[in-house]
Amino acid sequence: MNIPTVVLPPHAEMVRAMLERDTAYEGVFFTAVKTTGIFCRPSCTARKPKPENVEFFAHADECLSAGYRACLRCKPLDAAAIAPDWVQRLLKAVDADPERRWSDAQLLAHSIEPLKLRRWFKQHFGMTFHAWLRTRRLGVALGGIRQGTSIDHAAFDSGYESLSGFRDAFQKSFHITPGRAAQSEPLLFTRLTTPLGPMIAMAERRGLVLLEFLDRPALTREVEDLQHRYGYAVAPGHNAHLQQIEEQLAAYFAGKLSAFSVPLHAPGSDFARQVWAALQQIPYGQTSTYGAIAAGLGKPGASRAVGLANGHNRLSIVVPCHRVIGADGSLTGYGGGQPRKAFLLRLENAAVQLTQQLAL
């Protein structure tokens, strides 16, 4: 399905986002520089042109049709914030040999600058590569302990030469001792690429628990809440739910999916879960308001409480809090940023209109 051209944000808003390199506008628009013939992402780190020399497009293919070439620095033809080739090669090597230790010398031997790698992982995972690798190994140990492996064997299999070192690292990563790990629930996470920028997905055996944009300010608080309040042990990894949401997100952004079927598990208060369930009842391509949701729950005076529960939703897009707008039609707040909210609504509206046209 080809989605029609969507309406761009106001010109002044795009100029500001371009000059400030605002990542919230990733995928929302592209900047094309008349004097160089090059088009970029709004967050491109190259020297910014004068606003009068720029025109804006909603899609990269529109830039190409207008005769512009893709920027070699920000690579706008790639999906937003996709991992560069050198990172992808390294991740494949880690998957092929999970127990391998990567020293700076070994990274350099693979033409990978350690400082550059450190910065990329800090930006996209919130930790260094070596911390990610260590947490990944500890995640394997966590799985082993839950399956009945002794703490001694789990420690040595993870490459630790002392039990005390293993216990300290384990507790630092998972906020529990190895002895309590058998009763904890592993929460595996992975990074996903979307047209609106990178997202992080977390899932346990019962379903998807979190799906958020990586630059969401509340993300750290949400993860800490899952660890401390709900006892999750968070570690890098993959499972069927993470694979499913990756595939379904790609279909959603292509305009081919209007309802997600990935299993969900959303811990929260009874009222919050009622609100999140009500969000899932808002039809694709339509919107609702806090007041309407409160009334539907039989609590017409609880609009503010509905708004708070809406803001605490950890499952962006899948539990469509972006479909809730103000009573006056304004977009109101959105954890991923209002530009993304507007994009998602335009995407769904365009897909619905195209479906209706094809049905005639």
Residue 167: count other Cβ atoms within 10 Å of its Cβ: 16
Measure the CA–CA gap between 174 and 138, rounded to whole angstroms.
9
For CA atoms 219, 222, 223, 228, give the dihedral sign: positive
128 within 8 A of 121, measured Cβ to Cβ: yes
Measure the CA–CA gap between 213 and 39, rounded to whole angstroms.
24
DSSP 8-state assignment for residue 233:
E
Measure the CA–CA gap between 203 and 192, rounded to whole angstroms.
13
Q: Residue 221: which of 212, 22, 322 has the closest Cα? A: 212
321 is catalytic: yes
Where do runs of H (alpha helix) occur along the chain? Answer: 11-20, 60-65, 85-96, 104-109, 114-125, 129-146, 151-157, 163-174, 219-228, 240-253, 270-279, 290-296, 303-311, 338-359
Three-class secondary structure of residue 32 per DSSP = strand
Measure the CA–CA gap between 246 and 201, rounded to whole angstroms.
9
Which one of 44, 63, 74, 321 is the catalytic residue? 321
90 within 8 A of 108, measured Cβ to Cβ: no
Strands of the 185-192 sheet, one edge to the other: 207-213, 199-204, 185-192, 232-236
Tokens linked to 7? 């309406």
Q: Return the active site residues.
A: 321
